[in-house]
């Protein structure tokens, strides 16, 4: 949105034309002042007389980006996901059929139409690489790039070796260091037990306690639950309590059975994916690092490794990627000046 706003707008207008839409809305987080300004500045000269385009900003919450929560916000209500069905394609914005799509996909539409064969041959994805790497930032890499190459070439390696990698940020279970040759590809990551999602690739160092990361992940999902449906709000709170107990040494083996039961219920309930994502991501982490979980249960303390809170607000990991993004934008603007 900040460096390729014309591509975003061109893709948006092409999508509107394809589905016969007369109104198009670019919905951004409220804090995205820079992207909003860049998009508005790029609008002159790209207008389609048949499509009214507007930039709107809403809440910053994680769930506020869910497709039906977006529609609720645009209609002036709280960012709560809607029960489905009906889906937006049938009943969406103001009750009309609506296409909801992410910005990166829209930005790639013009290039895909201009050269379909070349686009498929060189299909790429934007990766937000963050965590315990030497050079966090956003990189455009070919789909199919191995995680190991991404960490070593774009990230200049992990600071203390790799302990785990979240290919999709909090929205899928992590992979362990032995799976670093897995390709950045939806099918390959799914087969490995994770997912690509928005490719917010979080690297966790080898010297970090996996249980502490699980507790951080559980707190994130509890904090970001919108509170609308009990299976999610109560379930995420329960998982957070159990994961926190594991980290502190106060949990017992029976708590793991409780966590599995709660996660199983959460996976099949809730208005949006937040409930099942929380259940899947946390139980996947605990299963992958079962030896560390067992050690915490057996000793009542961490057997080794420093604690980390990568999903915490203001954590060093989050601050690192935010600083890298700001520096990149400053460099882009400075480089464009005559």
Strands (E) in 120-268, as ranges, are 124-131, 137-142, 162-166, 175-176, 202-205
Least confident of 223-232, 250-259, 326-335: 326-335
**Cα–Cα distance for residue pair 320/322, rounded to 1 Å:** 5
The DSSP bridge partners found for residue 165 are 175, 203
Q: Supply the CATH number for residue 44's domain.
A: 3.40.50.11540
Model confidence pLDDT, tens digit, residues 138-185: 999 999 999 999 999 999 999 999 999 999 999 999 999 999 999 999
Q: Do residues 278 and 239 lie in contact, with contact meaning Cβ atoms separated by under 8 Å?
A: yes
**Whether pLDDT at 10 is above 90:** yes
pLDDT confidence of residue 335: 55
For the chain, the domain total comes to: 3
Residues 99 and 16 in one domain: yes
Q: Do residues 310 and 132 lie in contact, with contact meaning Cβ atoms separated by under 8 Å?
A: no
pLDDT confidence of residue 333: 54
Confidence of residue 338 (pLDDT cuts 50, 70, 90): very low
Last residue of a domain, one of 149, 175, 205: 205
Contacts of 24 (CB under 8 A, 6+ apart): 12, 13, 15, 16, 51, 52, 53, 54
Least confident of 44-48, 150-154, 214-218, 314-318: 44-48
**Cα–Cα distance for residue pair 134/132, rounded to 1 Å:** 7
Residues 108 and 31 in one domain: yes
Q: Beta 23-29 vs 162-166: how paired, if at all?
A: unpaired
Q: Supply the CATH number for residue 193's domain.
A: 3.10.20.600
Confidence of residue 93 (pLDDT cuts 50, 70, 90): very high
**Cα–Cα distance for residue pair 135/153, rounded to 1 Å:** 10
Residues 55 and 145 in one domain: no
Q: Supply the CATH number for residue 300's domain.
A: 1.20.1440.230
Last residue of a domain, one of 150, 183, 205: 205
The DSSP bridge partners found for residue 65 are none
**Whether pLDDT at 131 is above 80:** yes
Residues 183 and 262 in one domain: no
**Cα–Cα distance for residue pair 50/12, rounded to 1 Å:** 13
Distance from the Cα of residue 215 to its chain's centroid: 18
Q: Do residues 27 and 73 lie in contact, with contact meaning Cβ atoms separated by under 8 Å?
A: yes
pLDDT confidence of residue 331: 64
**Whether pLDDT at 238 is above 70:** yes
**Which of 173, 210, 177 lies closest to 194 in space, CA to CA?**
173
pLDDT confidence of residue 312: 96
Average pLDDT over residues 82-92: 94
**Which of 136, 313, 306, 151 lies closest to 213 in space, CA to CA?**
306
pLDDT confidence of residue 298: 77
**Whether pLDDT at 206 is above 80:** yes
| pTM recorded for the entire structure | 0.92
**Whether pLDDT at 231 is above 80:** yes
Residue at 322 is within a domain: no
- Residue 156 structure tokens: 């200049």
| Arithmetic mean of pLDDT over the chain | 92
**Whether pLDDT at 19 is above 70:** yes
pLDDT confidence of residue 337: 40
Range of the domain at 155: 123-205
């Amino acid at each position: 949105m900040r460096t390729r706003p014309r591509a975003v707008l061109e893709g948006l207008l092409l999508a509107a034309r394809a589905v016969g839409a007369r109104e198009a809305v670019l919905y951004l987080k409220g804090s995205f002042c820079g992207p909003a300004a860049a998009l508005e500045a790029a609008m002159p000269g790209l207008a389609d007389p048949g499509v009214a385009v507007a930039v709107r900003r809403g809440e910053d919450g994680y769930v506020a980006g869910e497709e039906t929560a977006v529609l609720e916000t645009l209609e002036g209500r709280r960012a709560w996901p809607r029960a489905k069905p009906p889906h937006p394609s049938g009943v969406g914005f103001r009750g009309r059929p609506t296409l909801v799509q992410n910005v990166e996909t829209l930005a790639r539409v013009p290039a895909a139409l201009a050269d379909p064969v070349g686009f498929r041959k060189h299909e790429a994805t934007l990766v937000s690489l963050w965590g315990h790497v030497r050079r966090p930032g956003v990189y455009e890499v070919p789909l199919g790039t191995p995680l190991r190459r991404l960490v070593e070439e774009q990230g200049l390696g992990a600071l203390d070796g790799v302990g785990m990698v979240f290919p999709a940020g909090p929205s899928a279970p992590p992979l362990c260091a032995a799976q670093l040759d897995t390709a950045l590809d939806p099918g390959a990551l799914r087969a490995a037990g994770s997912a690509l999602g928005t490719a917010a690739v979080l690297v966790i160092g080898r010297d970090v306690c996996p249980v502490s990361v699980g507790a951080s992940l559980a707190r994130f999902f509890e904090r970001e639950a919108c509170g609308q449906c009990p299976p999610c709000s109560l379930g995420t709170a329960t998982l957070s309590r159990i994961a926190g107990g594991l980290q502190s040494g106060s949990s017992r083996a029976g708590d793991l059975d409780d966590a599995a039961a709660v996660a199983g219920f959460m996976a099949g309930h809730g208005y949006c994916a937040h409930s099942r994502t929380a259940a899947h991501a946390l139980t996947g982490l605990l299963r992958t690092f079962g030896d560390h979980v067992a050690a915490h249960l057996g000793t009542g303390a961490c057997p080794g490794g420093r604690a980390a809170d990568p999903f915490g607000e203001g954590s060093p990991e989050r601050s690192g990627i935010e600083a890298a993004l700001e520096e990149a934008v400053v460099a882009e603007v400075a480089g464009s000046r005559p």
